[in-house]
């Protein structure tokens, strides 16, 4: 339970339906993702760097 609500990961078909891409190709930089409410553990910012999807199965984005 997060923020008083039950939260689950999206199923592959839901990802395709909402974002128009397959799981593994999702990027938080997509125009389709930006308007969505994203829940992230703030502790992730304590890492030296963070990796996120780039919109390609073969490339990630590394942010320091």
pLDDT tens digits, residue range 6-58?
Answer: 888 899 999 999 999 999 999 988 999 989 888 888 899 899 999 999 999 99
User: How far is Cα of residue 9 from the mean position of the Cα atoms in its chain?
Assistant: 10
The domain tally of the chain equals 1
| Residue-by-residue DSSP string for 13-54 | HHHHHHHSS-TTS--TTSTTTTTS-----GGGGGSS-EEEEE
Answer yes or no: is 7 within a domain. no
Structure-derived torsion over alpha carbons of residues 21, 51, 43, 37, reported in degrees to the nearest 10: -20
Full-model pTM = 0.70
Domain, as residue range, for 25: 12-63
Residue at 4 is within a domain: no
**pLDDT confidence of residue 49:** 95
2 in a structural domain: no
């Amino acid at each position: 339970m997060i923020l008083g609500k039950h939260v689950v990961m999206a199923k592959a078909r839901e990802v395709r339906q909402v974002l128009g891409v397959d799981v593994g190709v999702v990027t938080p930089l997509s125009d389709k993702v930006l308007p969505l409410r994203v829940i992230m553990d703030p502790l992730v910012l304590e890492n030296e760097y963070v990796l996120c999807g780039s919109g390609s199965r073969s490339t990630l984005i590394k942010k320091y």
